[in-house]
Structure 1
Amino acid sequence: MNMIYLWIAVIVLSAASEAATLTLVSIWFIPSAVIALVLAMFSVDVWIQVLLFFVLSIVLLLTTRRFAMRCIVKKQTPTNADRIIGMNGIVTEEIDTIKQTGQVHVDGQLWSARGTTDVPNIKKDTVVRIERIEGVKVIVTPVSEASVDKELNQKENAAQTDTTNIDQ
């Protein structure tokens, strides 16, 4: 079989595969196959064409994949709701992850809430920290009394510092 046709087929199949998936699966083979095609046109030995194809494909994969993925993968755009992540809230309806019930009051809003796999059930009036948002539900973990007191003290100290600076 003429190697020129083989390399053209590799180029076409790799391009079609890449166009179908859009996830950088076979793009590395296209330039490698083009180089091998040029070598085939100059009647270079088949083993050199194949060796160069594989070596060049591996080198391209290792050197450019991270850069290419950084350019292609879009960062998630944060929403206004994301600002509550890390905030504390109060459980207003007991959280039962199995029954899929529970609500949390945080930043003046009521959110449907679920516990984490570590703490699936949380009693009413418990102080919780918002870990993440999944759809329209917040995923929460209970906060210890000590950390709540510490946070309140920090806020009071910050408020006192602000009023002291204003008085001066």
Structure 2
Amino acid sequence: MQWLWWFVGAMGLGIIEVFTLDLTFAMLAGGALAAGGVALFGVEWWVSAIVFAVVSALLFVLLRPYLITVMRKKSPLIEMNSNALVGREARTIDEITETSGRVKLNGEVWSARTPDDAPVIPEGSEVTVVAISGATAIVAPEKE
């Protein structure tokens, strides 16, 4: 009768996977299906548990990375929040140095600085955001 619990668990994990879409619960559901299949032969519960752990771990290590790369190729990751600002153009409000400065970026005023050992950027210059560090935009002069 333990096989039934494994299959019910696999269904439950599959339903959770539909809502999360990160392939974690799908790998666990695969392990539960394997454990349920072994349990059909009447093995002890601990053997099924070991099969569940081993198959789930193998699916996590071998199958999940491949599936994620395939999914990313079909629909690339869309950057959101501050990561979406990288590569955008901004205008300096103050002189930008390695330690201080401000830029107008996406309609907002951001604190800004240049990358290490970069020259000072004068006020009113066009710059490109190369990274976001916390609430500070790291900017470089726009190439002409």
Q: TM-score range by the shorter chain?
A: 0.5 to 0.7
C-alpha spacing 1:103/1:17, structure 2 compared with 1 (3 Å): closer
Structure of greater Rg: 1
Counterpart position of 1:69: 68
SS at match of 1:114: strand
Q: In structure 2, what is the equivalent of residue 98 of structure 1?
A: none
| Length, aligned pairs only | 122
- Aligned residue number for residue 26 of structure 2: 27
SS at structure 2 position matched to 1:43 = coil
Amino acid at match of 1:18: E
Letter aligned with residue 7 of structure 2: I
1:45 maps to amino acid: E
Name the CA distance, whole Å, in 1 between partners of 2:36 and 2:68.
27
SS of the aligned residue for 2:43 comes to: coil
Q: Which runs of 5+ in 1 are unaligned?
A: 96-100, 105-110, 153-168
Aligned match of 1:114: 110
Change (3 A) 1:14 1:129: same
- Taking a change above 3 Å as real, the CA distance of residues 90 and 10 of structure 1, as seen in their structure-2 partners, is closer
CA 76–132 in structure 1, closer or farther in 2 if over 3 Å, else same? farther
Identity across matched positions, percent: 14
1:76 and 1:16 mapped to 2: Cα distance? 24
Render the CA deviation track for 1:27-50: whole Å, top value 9, x for unaligned: 112222222212222212222111
Moved over 3 A (4+): 101-104, 111-115
Q: Distance in 2 between matches of 1:90 and 1:30?
A: 51
Greater RCO between the two (CA within 8 Å, min separation 6)? 2
Is contact 2:128–2:140 with CA below 8 Å preserved after alignment? no
- Separation in 2, partners of 1:94, 1:24: 47
Supply the RMSD in Å over aligned alpha carbons. Answer: 4.0
Contact 2:35 2:48 in 1 (8 A): yes
Structure 2 length-normalised TM:
0.60
